[in-house]
Amino acid sequence: MDLFEYQGKQYFSRFDIPVSAGGVALSVDEAVAAADKAGYPVVVKAQVQVGGRGKAGGIKLANDATEVRTHAGSILGMEIKGHVVERVWVEHASDIDEEYYASFTLDRAAKKHLLMLSAKGGVDIEEVAAKDPDAIVKLHVDPVEGLSLEAARRAAVDARIPDKALTGVASILVQLYRCFTEGDCDLAEINPLILKPTGEVHALDAKVSLDVNAEFRHPEWEDFKATEKLDARERLARDKGLQYIGLDGTVGIIANGAGLAMSTLDVVNQVGGSAANFLDIGGGANADLMAGALEVINSDANVRSIFINIFGGITRGEEVAKGIVEALGRVDLRAPIVIRLDGTNAEEGRQILANAGIPESRLVSKPTMLEAAEAAVVIAT
Amino acid sequence: MAIFVDASTKVIVQGLTGGQGKYHGLRNRSYGTQVVGGVTPGKGGTDVEGIPVFDGVADAVASTGATASFVAVPPRAAPAAILEAAAAGISFIVCITEGIPAQDEARTYSTLLRDHPTVRLLGPNCPGIISPGKCNIGITAGEIAQEPSVAGPNVGIVSRSGTLTYQALYELKQRGIGVSTCVGIGGDPVPGTSFIDCLGEFQADPETHAIIMIGEIGGSAEEEAAEFIKANVTKPMSAYIAGVTAPAGKKMGHAGAIVSGGKGTARGKMDALRDAGVRVGQNPTEAGALMAEIVAGLR
């Protein structure tokens, strides 16, 4: 789950990482109130989960309430790369001497945590990595041993962070590591991490992605979930406990297992179609799950055909077939179904579907994944 | 022969009295696996359809001589269960639990590496392992696995995805091709056993003559495997990578399956494998068909 900048900063604060005083605002009046509280001058920042806000005019400096009114008015409702700005973050403007970069992620190849630190921050770190890879220090941290202040300080020296900022940077690194581990982040990134003329080091931005598997031990994440950017289909799917990702094609996909669902998208693409979604109904594939999945697919106006791709392992083919027949009785579908049922007791399952009296204009059964994909794509195009 | 588990493997099920543990543990026993005990704290002395239950793994190991454990407990309890098994002398741990926080997974892996370097963990979030006709630990439906033939050729399967593992087993069964061992390594960010571990074992296993590998988007495990294959694997291979059409930045069900920053794409992985001499199919059926060609050539 990706957080907005303001949520990331709130999260940082829990781990004593210094951020600017500020507040989030949904309206111009709220923005002025937040600015008054933070103290002028302030920066008004569009809250969208996409890069390039500054270039798009989504970040503005305001010296007084009138300017806040003007800028918040223009930024709220603005569209940045397809994302409509619903909130602005208004914070006290910082004087900046230098800009650095710091992040923690999991390096899956090394199976260790990875610190990336650079004295060249404030810009796209991918660019720095491409043009000047030596400017980024990478340090693996053993998840059991953790990150000591000494190791953080050595990394800062290696990254050529100037002496006057070393202590501040090292202590923020240790706090950011705590946020990453205890806070169950997939990513905790500060760009830029700034040095102020006063000598203080401070997080000017926050990019945080949370590991939803750890949700059970973070009741404080409830607020973050409320603002998560999901489209209507994704929200409906989540309510039904389904693994769903909305895409923009015309073939609705239902499969059991993440790998098979991904594979189904690929095969549809190979035969010249495009998938409307990724949907994994998991191992169960019973009538309730199937009805829920069909309902979600049915809510997508782009869907012209529905490809159900089930491989019976533990779940037997006849149970899946019964589930589909029952689900069809509950959901009034706009698009026809093409089904490929294979694996354990697939033949019995196909018989149940054949005997259910569903007209061929509504449900077609195909023996292989490829043939089913072809049939679904023909209907959809 | 087979890799990791065979007919002599004695298995305990951690969480045998729970829904998943009981269902799959009993299925594994019906398949012929030596399921010799279960562990559920507080339920020691009871039994599940004749399988004795112990309070802790140490008791279970002392009484049964088990060397393998099947961990089927919820995400919050799984890391401790894995470490308990390792401390009690279990050498092969299969964890099917889905939804363990990545931080816990990374810590568990590092702890195993530091304190129990000889213990092998398969998973978490994996379908398990089956050496057809000998031993089945996990959630694989045994009936879709073809037993290996004495004459061969037999195929080893290693896969990151559950249903696609079954698909691969099924593709081979339909073609009458025997399977030495099928290992599902799981789709999580920090799997205990990697493609490379399995490929090395298959290469050394005299009963395995060819290998199918099934990968998916995200991370760099397939690319690392390709490097390993180039240097160490002489047995013929076919492969399939799921997620060619997956959009960047979206997790495709598995915690590990995500294309980010232009890395972990299916195309890159397929190219790396082709470069290592692996025949790559565009879908699971094609990978199965390619394997049938390979096997025909070996006969």
Residue A118 lies inside a defined structural domain of this protein: yes
Interacting residues of A303 by C-beta distance below 8 A, sequence separation 6+: A250, A251, A252, A276, A297, A334, A335, A380
Q: Which of A143, A213, A176 is nearest to B102 (CA)?
A: A213
Q: Mind listing the pLDDT tens digit for each residue in A143-199?
A: 999 999 999 999 999 999 999 999 999 999 999 999 999 999 999 999 999 999 999
Closest residue to B106, CB basis, from A106, A255, A283: A106
Task: Assess whether A44 and A110 both reside in one domain.
Answer: no
The reply to whether B25 touches chain A by the CB within 8 Å rule is no
State whether B103 and A181 contact (CB < 8 Å).
yes
| pTM of the predicted model as reported, rounded to 2 decimal places | 0.92
Chain B residues within 8 A of A312 when measuring between CB atoms: 141
CB A380 within 8 A of CB A304: yes
Interacting residues of A348 by C-beta distance below 8 A, sequence separation 6+: A316, A317, A318, A321
> Which residue among B122, B154, B177 closes a domain?
B122
Q: Mind listing the pLDDT tens digit for each residue in B254-298?
A: 666 777 766 789 999 999 999 999 999 998 889 999 999 999 999
**What Rg, from alpha-carbon coordinates, does chain A have?**
26
Measured distance CA(A312)–CA(A320) in Å, rounded? 8
Task: Assess whether A260 and A370 both reside in one domain.
Answer: yes
* Rounded mean pLDDT, A332-336: 91
Q: Which of B60, B163, B97, B2 is nearest to A257 (CA)?
A: B163
Label the pairing between strands A337-343 and B10-14: unpaired
Task: Assess whether B148 and B254 both reside in one domain.
Answer: yes
Closest residue to A262, CB basis, from B76, B219, B243: B243
Task: Assess whether B117 and B261 both reside in one domain.
Answer: no
Look at A111 and A318; give whichever has higher pLDDT. Answer: A111
- Edge-to-edge strand list for the sheet holding A251-255: A243-246, A277-280, A251-255, A305-312, A337-343, A363-366
CATH number of the domain to which B179 belongs: 3.40.50.261
Measured distance CA(A155)–CA(A173) in Å, rounded? 10
Instruction: Look up the domain containing A203 and give its range.
Output: 98-221
Instruction: Look up the domain containing B215 and give its range.
Output: 141-298
CB A372 within 8 A of CB A366: yes
Interacting residues of B104 by C-beta distance below 8 A, sequence separation 6+: A214, B75, B78, B79
Interacting residues of B65 by C-beta distance below 8 A, sequence separation 6+: B10, B36
CB A35 within 8 A of CB A90: yes
In chain A, the residue whose alpha carbon lies closest to the alpha carbon of B267 is A266
Residue B172's alpha-carbon distances to B32, B85, B146, B157, B176, in angstroms, are 21, 34, 7, 10, 6
The reply to whether A167 touches chain B by the CB within 8 Å rule is no
State whether B285 and A283 contact (CB < 8 Å).
no
State how many domains chain A has: 3
A-B interface: how many C-beta pairs under 8 angstroms? 168
Joined together, the tokens standing for residue B237 give: 């291979």
In chain B, the residue whose alpha carbon lies closest to the alpha carbon of A313 is B141
Which B residues in the span 189-208 are in contact with A, Cβ-Cβ below 8 Å?
A: 189-190
Look at B200 and A368; give whichever has higher pLDDT. Answer: B200
Q: Where are the alpha helices (DSSP H) in B41-149?
A: 57-64, 78-87, 102-115
Task: Assess whether A107 and A37 both reside in one domain.
Answer: no
CATH number of the domain to which A70 belongs: 3.30.1490.20
Closest residue to B111, CB basis, from A144, A245, A267: A144
State whether B114 and A144 contact (CB < 8 Å).
yes
Residue B242 has pLDDT above 70, yes or no: yes
Which A residues in the span 27-56 are in contact with B, Cβ-Cβ below 8 Å?
A: none
Q: Mind listing the pLDDT tens digit for each residue in A228-242?
A: 777 788 888 888 878
Residue A314 has pLDDT above 70, yes or no: no
Residue with tokens 């399939």: B240
Residue B226 lies inside a defined structural domain of this protein: yes
pLDDT category of residue B212 using cuts at 50, 70 and 90: very high
CB B48 within 8 A of CB B25: yes
* B258 burial via Cβ count (<10 Å: 0-12, 13-18, 19+): buried
Residue B135 CA, chain-centre distance (Å), reads 13
Does an H or E element contain A140, and which?
A: strand A136-141
Q: How far is A241 from chain B (nearest CA, A)?
A: 12
Active-site annotation holds for A177: no
State how many domains chain B has: 2
* Rounded mean pLDDT, A125-132: 83
Measured distance CA(A313)–CA(B145) in Å, rounded? 11
Mean of per-residue pLDDT scores for chain B: 94
